[in-house]
């Protein structure tokens, strides 16, 4: 039994962390047809922005959205206030003369706010973004251009982090995102990505459906509807959104929410594990394996503990305890480091990238 537990656990851990990345890098040569991108393709676009108490960021965000290099007569910006109690709504209302529409909703969470926005949107393309991150001015044009290809159902941009530290939680986050973005690009080249970046993605309006109010990862559920409907979800590397790294343990909380949301996806959309999902093998290998990883580690522990006393058992226990201690110290260090960090202003030196002129709107 001990050998069986050790073998199964080791296979799960090895495949999730090493085996599948190697397969993805070297084992799949099939590529989907090139996206027939056309920058002259300019359908109507609704920008959907759900926000709760975002007065710190909303003015800069709206200035950024209004500066995007896309015909303004084809863009409407819909801000859904999710029960905001600060100055968010007043700031949004001050943009009413510039084509920004405010919808007020009782506090119900981001999914409910997005559903309200969907009900009030009729444009051909829906562009989803969050309040904090700023978007490169050419991003919307590049994203929309991919919808000239009728096989494309959703398009996601890519995140970029400003001034990341190279230690602790921030270094871990950078490693995670480097791998995640590389995997998405590979999936997109093979056929279709399985999720998007919530800060910057777009969907055909005809594929948009209301989502349950308790949805944890809308940027996974919404594009999966496009994939399961037979469309491709692709990555547009020229569409960028910028943010500072999370602070005070924020990345840990984000990962917990993401994993909980991944469980939710499996329960509510079990067809992702069937032939209805033509990316089933990659979804299971890249997503489901993450859920199996902790269980694989527990199997290794159980197998080690059930081994008969021997130098080999002592060696395994010593290594596993050392790894556990290292993980605990790493977690404590990141929390302590986060407490020392102060919130930094969300302004990047290359301001023309966000507002199209030599300075932020607050400098005018």
Is the domain of 182 the same as that of 262?
yes
What would the mean pLDDT of 293-301 be, rounded to a whole number?
A: 90
List the domain range (segments joined by +) for residue 186. Answer: 34-282
Read off the pLDDT band of 342 (50, 70, 90).
very low
Read off the pLDDT band of 173 (50, 70, 90).
low
Residue 357 lies in a domain: no
Residue 262 lies in a domain: yes
Is the domain of 246 the same as that of 123?
yes
Is the domain of 172 the same as that of 43?
yes
Residue 61 lies in a domain: yes
Is the domain of 315 the same as that of 172?
no
Single pTM value for the model: 0.84
Count of domains in the chain? 2
pLDDT for residue 259: 86
Is residue 65 scored above 90 in pLDDT? yes
Residues 6+ apart with CB under 8 A from 177: 159, 161
Strand partners, 105: 82
* DSSP-assigned letters across all residues of 130-170: -SS-EE-TTHHHHHHHGGGSTTEEEEEEEEEESS--SSHHH
Read off the pLDDT band of 251 (50, 70, 90).
low
Is the domain of 13 the same as that of 150?
no
Q: What is the mean pLDDT of the chain?
A: 85
Is the domain of 40 the same as that of 110?
yes
Residue 209 lies in a domain: yes
Chain segment 90-106, per-residue pLDDT in tens:
999 999 999 999 999 99
Is the domain of 93 the same as that of 193?
yes
Residue 56 lies in a domain: yes
Element (H, E) at 200: strand 200-204
Residue 302, classed as helix, strand or coil, is helix
Between 2 and 201, where is the model more confident? 201
Is residue 220 scored above 50 in pLDDT? yes
pLDDT for residue 150: 97
Residue 313 lies in a domain: yes
Residue 345 lies in a domain: no
Is the domain of 324 the same as that of 272?
no
Is the domain of 8 the same as that of 41?
no
**CATH number for the domain that contains residue 170:** 3.90.550.10
Is the domain of 113 the same as that of 130?
yes
Is the domain of 6 the same as that of 48?
no
Residue 337, classed as helix, strand or coil, is helix
CA pair distance 274, 279, nearest whole angstrom: 9
Maximum separation of any 2 CA atoms in the chain, in Å? 77
């Amino acid at each position: 039994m001990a050998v069986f537990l050790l073998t199964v656990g080791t296979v799960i851990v090895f495949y999730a962390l090493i085996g599948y990345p190697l397969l993805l890098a070297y084992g799949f040569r099939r590529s989907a047809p090139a996206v027939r991108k056309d920058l002259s393709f300019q359908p109507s676009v609704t920008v959907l922005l759900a926000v709760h108490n975002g007065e710190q960021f909303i003015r800069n965000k709206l200035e950024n959205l209004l500066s995007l290099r896309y015909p303004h007569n084809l863009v409407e910006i819909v801000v859904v206030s999710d029960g905001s109690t600060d100055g968010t709504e007043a700031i949004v209302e001050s943009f009413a003369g510039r084509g920004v529409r405010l919808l007020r909703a009782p506090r119900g969470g981001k999914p409910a706010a997005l559903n309200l926005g969907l009900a009030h949107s009729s444009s051909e393309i829906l562009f989803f973004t969050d309040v904090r991150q700023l978007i490169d001015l050419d991003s919307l044009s590049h994203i929309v251009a991919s919808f000239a290809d009728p096989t494309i159902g959703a398009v996601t941009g890519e995140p970029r982090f400003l001034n990341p530290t190279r230690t602790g939680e921030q270094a871990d986050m950078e490693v995670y995102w480097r791998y995640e973005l590389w995997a998405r690009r590979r999936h997109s080249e093979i056929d279709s990505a399985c999720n998007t970046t919530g800060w910057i993605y777009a969907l055909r309006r005809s594929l948009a459906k209301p989502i349950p109010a308790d949805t944890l990862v809308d940027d996974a559920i919404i594009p999966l509807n496009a994939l399961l409907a037979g469309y491709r979800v692709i990555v547009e590397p020229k569409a960028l959104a910028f943010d500072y790294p999370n602070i005070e343990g924020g990345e840990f909380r984000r990962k917990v929410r993401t994993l909980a949301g991944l469980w939710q996806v499996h329960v509510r959309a079990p067809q992702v594990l069937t032939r209805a999902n033509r990316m089933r093998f990659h979804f299971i290998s890249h997503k489901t394996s993450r859920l199996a990883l902790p269980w694989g580690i527990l199997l290794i522990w159980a197998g080690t503990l059930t081994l008969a006393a021997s130098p080999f058992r002592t060696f395994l226990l010593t290594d596993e305890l050392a790894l556990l201690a290292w993980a605990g110290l790493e977690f404590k260090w990141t929390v302590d480091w986060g407490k020392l960090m102060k919130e930094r202003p969300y302004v990047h030196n290359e301001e023309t990238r966000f507002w199209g002129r030599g300075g932020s709107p607050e400098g005018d």
